[in-house]
Structure 1
Amino acid sequence: MTDWIGDVFTSDAGWDHLESLVDVGDRMAGSDGERAGLELTRDALTDAGARDAWIDDFEIQGWERGDSEIRRGDEVVASGQNACIALPRSPSGEAVGEFVDLGYGVPEDFEVDLTDKVVMVSSDTPDSVDRFVHRREKYYHAVEAGAAAFVFANHVEGTLPPTGSVGTADAPIGEIPAVGVSKEAGARLARRREGEELTVAVDCETDDATSGNAVADLGPDTDEYLVVSCHVDAHDLAEGAMDNGAGTATLVEVANALAAREDELDTRVRFVGFGAEEVGLVGSSRFAAGVDPDRVKAVVNVDSNVFGRTLKLDHHGFDALEAAGERVSNRFDHPISLGEELVPHSDHWPFVERGIPGYMVSGETEGRGRGWGHTGADTLDKLESRNLREQAILLTELVVDLAGDDVSTAQRPTDEIASALEREGKATGMKITGDWPF
């Protein structure tokens, strides 16, 4: 039967949920907005037909942004929402030092004397480097090199300062003040301020806060289950439409579609809308630490899709997941991009690092970096309902396929995953950011 395909392609459930999430406004981890998003998602899963929907609360390190600026003496050279903002979990305070532009900020760029310097790096990674160098890796290279402050310059034009957290699981507040600046502000700093003494000033509040994971089930009450997940929180600068309203809306749309196909499921499906992803995968790490790996058949984690029309499935070298993606692509004669390399970011990772089969589901886009993501331009107008519906159809079929009794998955040994990270050049960065679990 294919009637369900037409039902999904004409459904408003996911898009309506997306609009509800972006209309909440600020969904920063631990905020009232995140709580509203979690409650909306819990209720949407219930409305879809999932059972036992609830929110599992947990405590986190809260962080609230104030004003930030860069000064030369008493002269303000970068400030305001269109030029300079604090990076979440930056410490509050001021740091003074000679300004140095390190360009891309790849690891070898830090092999100079940066003691007490104000260091600026780009949000981009050059094509000559065969992996994406994450913001937090650049930050902790600066910390390790003795820098006084960290400036993260967007590579996307349009007066869009980028956000993104610093800090580690053991030390949630970072060690040196950190700000994001727009491409234009960064270009002015590089052209006019190289070698000058600058002050980076961050005003923020830290306190205890509460986040949570929204959880619900569909399908038979089997011991083994699939996890279909997303993260509900978003950075406080914008609507968080792509990252990750889109993934949360897709979760809701898939739940509606699976409810109509529930009798086809041989394995229980557990939906989880994680909280506090943007500040260190806190919700998913907490959830993954509490599961029995032998009971989790696979994880299908959806993060920052819809913006790109072609669905991308990073399968992390799990053969059964690669095969399932190929089957669905062939079944629908529809392109799906499959990636084998490890992606040690987003909410699949706390599972995958334990050897549990997991996808990182996104939308394929050109170039490196986040584009509009993590900026004030991550808004609903960038997305298309067509893409959401097409991707929900493919993911619904993928989950039904994986849930079949005739499909088995196998864990990967953790030493094999560690070796793959070393081989792919990602271990160095993970070790410096405190994310190396092996």
Structure 2
Amino acid sequence: MECQIFHCGTRYMNSEIDQRVVNEIFSASQAWENMQVLTDDIGSRLAGSCGEVAARDFIAETLDLYGVDEVNVEPFPHLGWECKGEELRVVDPVHRDILCCCAGLSPAADRLEAELIFLKKCDLEEVEARREELRGKIVVAPYHPVPRQVKMPIAAAAGAVALLEARSVAGGLQPARTCAFNRIGDIPTASISREDSDYLQRLAKRKGSVRLRLSLESVIEWQTSWNVVGLIRGREIEQEYVALGGHYDSWHVGSGAVDNGTGVVAVLEAARGLAQHKEHLRRGVRFIFFGVEELGLVGSWAYVHQHVNELDHAVLMINNDVGGRPIRLISAGFEGVRPLLSGVAQRARVDGIESPLDVEVGNPGWASDHFPFWAHGVPTAAIGCDQVDPNAGRYVHTPADTADKVYVAGLTECAAINAQLVCAFANAPLRPAPRKRREEMELLLDKFAWRQTLDTLSAWPPEALLARYFNGVPGRSVDSA
């Protein structure tokens, strides 16, 4: 049974310290400057690149400058990937080159030729119904609604020889995306633009069978990446902590401003404000900047692997991924956190929004860095954001995800809300929600209808994924909660 929140919890949320932290963030925000350093000065931060190392060092140095109690850089292994070449050509009934973008962790394709076939979703139901048609074909399927790393194994199991994922919106861009989680994909995979997908469909309608030639070249090898962790020690309850994090890697094609420079700078700015008043935090805070999120949430899985014996002390994990204008607070099935979330929602300062932010206790998805914590029964939360520029979210994972797409005011607003959440949960008189047992998480898994997807990804149960990711790698434990 989840713990009850007493009315005195409101006193902690509305404390003078909470307001001092928020005022500090709004009055002297460094979020936009940090965004420009991360995206304009450093740029692309693909795992294994010089940009990743530069971002790691920038984050660690900034945390130290802001005055947190301790900064640690924690290494972990991962399967690294670098694209060396990509080429797609129509070879029949016409000859025409088409731009493509090799998927992360895609196997090589050496002038692979095959007829194409179009699918509407490439989910299990559609593939099963058309299984005989798929064998030996190159599948073309839209970006949404099925993730690429789910489409790829489904298509491969049906005998397809390659997958081309077509961008769902116009703009002539080919989005980067992994085709597998920390393993080499089953079939060569790449993306094409919406416009080129439409062209191929028109060509097939006019001419009949269309044949493509695909060449992909990558370097895939084991590498080391890092999580950067800043600590503020609790002044009263030393073992317990609130985790506040987001991933700092990006794809090779661009600077990753919205995804996820916004999350990085919102956490950094929250750290700056909280460090000014750290002596008033009853519980500790861990500011965690995850590496290698884009290739399979590897950094966040590494963190829970390396710190599994400390997860009982985690009061809440707050994830920041793809910022904008904050409009809601979300938790994944932990009703006990709702009162504290509601208190922060009532007092959040967001330009243009007079009423309290919405609060949802529901399904936040499995594809971001909260999930490894959630999978171990740790309560999680996130700030749900809207894109003020309706096109901004369309540019993630492309060269167009640049700093000019960022809603600048939202960086500071999200930072302040992060700090308010930390203050609320770090200073609550009682833990708002206990860590859930495995059987409880299994029930939520079915409630959210995640099981089939996680089975396809080989991402459940957590100890099996951890063994696959870090087999033979020293760690404290890979036992389930």
Provide TM-score, normalisation by structure 2: 0.83
In structure 2, how many angstroms separate the alpha carbons of the residues matched to 1:421 and 1:110? 24
Deviates more, 1:108-117 or 1:224-233: 108-117
Change (3 A) 1:301 1:357: same
Answer whether contact 1:325 1:336 (CA < 8 A) is retained.
no
* Runs of at least 5 residues in structure 1 that lack an aligned partner in the other structure: 126-132
SS of alignment partner, residue 215 of structure 1: strand
Is 1:326 matched up with 2:326?
A: no
SS of alignment partner, residue 73 of structure 1: strand
Pairwise CA distance, 1:78: 4.3
Corresponding residue for 1:313? 329
Matches within 5 A, 1:98-247: 98-111=115-128, 112=130, 113=132, 114-125=134-145, 133-169=146-182, 172-193=183-204, 195-220=209-234, 222-247=238-263
The one-letter code matched in structure 2 to 1:143 is: A
Task: Please point out which of 47, 50, 57 is paired with 1:29.
Answer: 47
Corresponding residue for 1:61? 79
Pairwise CA distance, 1:3: 4.3
CA RMSD, Structure 1 to Structure 2 (Å) = 2.2
Pairwise CA distance, 1:66: 2.4
Change (3 A) 1:410 1:195: farther
Answer whether contact 1:312 1:364 (CA < 8 A) is retained.
no
Is 1:45 matched up with 2:53?
A: no
Tell me the percent identity: 28
In structure 2, how many angstroms separate the alpha carbons of the residues matched to 1:50 and 1:144? 49
Provide TM-score, normalisation by structure 1: 0.91
Answer whether contact 2:166 2:193 (CA < 8 A) is retained.
yes
Corresponding residue for 2:434? 410
Is 1:5 matched up with 2:14?
A: no
Answer whether contact 2:90 2:97 (CA < 8 A) is retained.
no
Answer whether contact 1:356 1:411 (CA < 8 A) is retained.
yes
Task: Please point out which of 380, 383, 394 is paired with 1:358.
Answer: 380
Aligned length: 424
Corresponding residue for 2:368? 346
Deviates more, 1:420-429 or 1:368-377: 368-377
Change (3 A) 1:337 1:86: farther
Answer whether contact 1:78 1:185 (CA < 8 A) is retained.
no
The one-letter code matched in structure 2 to 1:301 is: N
Change (3 A) 1:370 1:109: farther
Answer whether contact 1:421 1:427 (CA < 8 A) is retained.
yes
Deviates more, 1:252-261 or 1:67-76: 67-76
Pairwise CA distance, 1:247: 0.3
Is 1:432 matched up with 2:456?
A: yes
Answer whether contact 2:329 2:383 (CA < 8 A) is retained.
yes
Change (3 A) 1:419 1:42: same
Structure having the larger proportion of residues in helix: 2
The one-letter code matched in structure 1 to 2:419 is: T
In structure 1, how many angstroms separate the alpha carbons of the residues matched to 2:196 and 2:85? 16
Pairwise CA distance, 1:305: 1.2
Higher Rg? 2
The one-letter code matched in structure 2 to 1:371 is: R
Which 4+ runs in 1 deviate beyond 4 A?
365-370
Residues 210-267 of structure 1: CA deviation (Å, up to 9, x unaligned): 2101011114261111111111100111110011110000011000111122133110
Deviates more, 1:208-217 or 1:89-98: 89-98
Residues 376-431 of structure 1: CA deviation (Å, up to 9, x unaligned): 22111111221111121111111100001414121222223223322332211111
In structure 2, how many angstroms separate the alpha carbons of the residues matched to 1:32 and 1:213? 15
In structure 1, how many angstroms separate the alpha carbons of the residues matched to 2:417 and 2:231? 20
Residues 154-181 of structure 1: CA deviation (Å, up to 9, x unaligned): 0121111111112234xx1111110111
Answer whether contact 2:107 2:184 (CA < 8 A) is retained.
yes
In structure 2, how many angstroms separate the alpha carbons of the residues matched to 1:426 and 1:54? 34
In structure 1, how many angstroms separate the alpha carbons of the residues matched to 2:223 and 2:157? 29
SS of alignment partner, residue 135 of structure 2: coil
SS of alignment partner, residue 225 of structure 1: strand
Is 1:263 matched up with 2:263?
A: no
Pairwise CA distance, 1:368: 12
Corresponding residue for 1:284? 300
Change (3 A) 1:57 1:85: same
SS of alignment partner, residue 172 of structure 2: coil
